[in-house]
A and B are shown apart, each in its own frame.
Chain A
């Protein structure tokens, strides 16, 4: 840039090819000073540990003795001889497959009800958003535990309204996971806000033109709203799915950290926690972590590949 020649020494901007400093670090070596905290964190807390856990996943490290190389034994055991891994996988996939679509459908329906110049929108929006802001705390998990307990609110309501005597939902392996799905769907507020922002991007004149042509509301939804919203749907689906794979707190609180009853709430992260920090099988838990990375990575790659066929980016 022309301005650099006028820069005074303290400016941090010097002409190209100045001293050794510049040849090593570029035009503004000060950049590395600013980058230093991140570099330390990246190398020491992200890259280093990630490589270390890759190494540990091939060992039997247990925190007490030094790690012994066991080759792929951990991975072989996970793939062939670990019923709890299978249970955790089943529970987590079921949770993802149920909670993410339901959450997104609710979010979209409510956002669409909002979009037509509705009176009182800020209030409604605030009410629907509140659960997703509070939802990740232990207090809400505790509340959920009490809602779906044998003598909880849900059963009281069922008894008073319909005379039905409900089971203890959280301690029945047939229902416990569904209480967590409901908890997740209850927090549809943030995808709803993202949908709302997406709906506002759709030009009003498209609907006006469709009205003039006599297109029904249904047709407008499938021919205008849904296609133009696909980038937002895609974004929400990817974010929510990755998040659902990592779910931990509610299952931990509802099952006292056990993932029970009968492994019915054994989320993948909870299983990893138990192996790593309950039994101190650090090597085995590292292998579990890397399998999760591969699963999430594969899912993300698949989403981006499939996006070509259903996401409209023609604006």
Chain B
């Protein structure tokens, strides 16, 4: 710095120019990649408002005219309207999400804060279920729910969540609860607070970030779930949106693209809204916990 002020620009200029070119190159690559990534989604969106005869033979994103016929045809394209499928999905997703948050947080509170015999034993077993593929419980669970008459009801998709069967969320919450200072609940306990009140009045209010993360991911996963509904829901009146879409593919085959794209687009809207409004929470959730989606 001190030797020669005039020499500095001469030395740094090529480097700066190189950095500029580098950054232009990186942006060009990223913009190109972004277009490639989004093109299929935009194509679906534009396909949903395209006049039906135009989809074939067009890879462009701009339809010649906008038509909402696809939405109208698609909405009542099956014997039961898509409104019913949306309602079913919404009921299942909301109740399952509440169940996951309540069930897992109560369990996590016991593991993180209460001192009872056998806690470490149960905790180890809980961690063990993290690695267990759902395939091994699938068939006996199905037989069980069949025998108690729950097939073709929403119950098999909802009730297990209240029993904290999703070990991943328990683990997530235990980690978070352990980060809350113990002095808080010890002081409350000295004041005669019951464990229930500590859970309800201290832990839950202090854990809103992790509860929100768990709630959002539960909702999205339940909304997108295809396997569970496929097995348990056979009556078209109980279909979720994912099953409805699948039937729509089967019944129209390749003939009604705009109707199919219109319903596909609609089915993505709830997840997309979460993406718009809770993006930071989603990304932080993944970055800090390694959630897989």
**A residues whose Cβ falls under 8 Å from a Cβ of B:** 1, 3, 6-8, 10-13, 24-32, 34-35, 37-42, 44-50, 52-54, 56, 63, 110, 113, 116, 118-120, 124-140, 142-147, 149, 151, 153, 156-157, 160, 186, 190, 193-194, 196-197, 235-236, 239-240, 242-243, 245-246, 248-249, 252-253, 256, 269, 272-273, 276-277, 282, 285-286, 288-290, 292-293, 296-297, 300
Contacts and interface: CB of A to CB of B under 8 A. Distances in A.
Given A38-B164, A142-B245, A277 B34 contact: no
A149 B254 contact: yes
A11 B293 contact: no
B189 A7 contact: yes
Given A116-B26, A157-B59, A196-B287, 19 more contacts: A3-B190, A24-B117, A31-B110, A31-B195, A32-B116, A37-B107, A41-B165, A45-B141, A53-B137, A110-B30, A138-B224, A140-B268, A142-B260, A146-B47, A194-B287, A242-B133, A272-B135, A277-B142, A292-B136
B275 interface: yes
The interface residues of chain A, by DSSP majority, are classed as helix
A253 B117 contact: no
A136 B293 contact: yes
Interface string B18-56: 000001001101100110011111011001000000001
A269 B226 CA distance: 13
A194 B40 contact: no
B170 A38 contact: yes
A11 B267 contact: no
A126 B286 contact: no
B232 to A, nearest CB: 10
A34 B170 contact: no
B212 to A, nearest CB: 16
B126 A38 contact: yes
A134 B114 contact: no
Contacts of A27: 115-116
A128 B33 CA distance: 9
A10 B226 contact: no
A126 B256 CA distance: 31
Interface of B: 23, 26-27, 29-30, 33-34, 37-41, 43-44, 47, 56-59, 103, 106-107, 109-111, 114-119, 122, 125-126, 129, 131-144, 146, 160, 162-165, 170, 186, 189-190, 192-196, 199, 220-221, 223-224, 226-227, 230-231, 242, 245-246, 249-250, 254, 257, 260-261, 263-265, 267-268, 271-272, 275, 279, 282-283, 286-288, 290-293
The 4 closest A-B pairs by CB, nearest first: A41-B163, A31-B116, A26-B117, A49-B140
A253 B189 contact: no
A300 B290 CA distance: 17
Nearest to A236: B290
Contacts of B249: 142, 145, 253, 256
A276 B109 contact: no
Contacts of B165: 41-42, 45-46
A32 B190 CA distance: 21
Given A133-B275, A136-B224, A153-B43, A37 B164 contact: yes
Contacts of A35: 107, 110-111, 116, 122
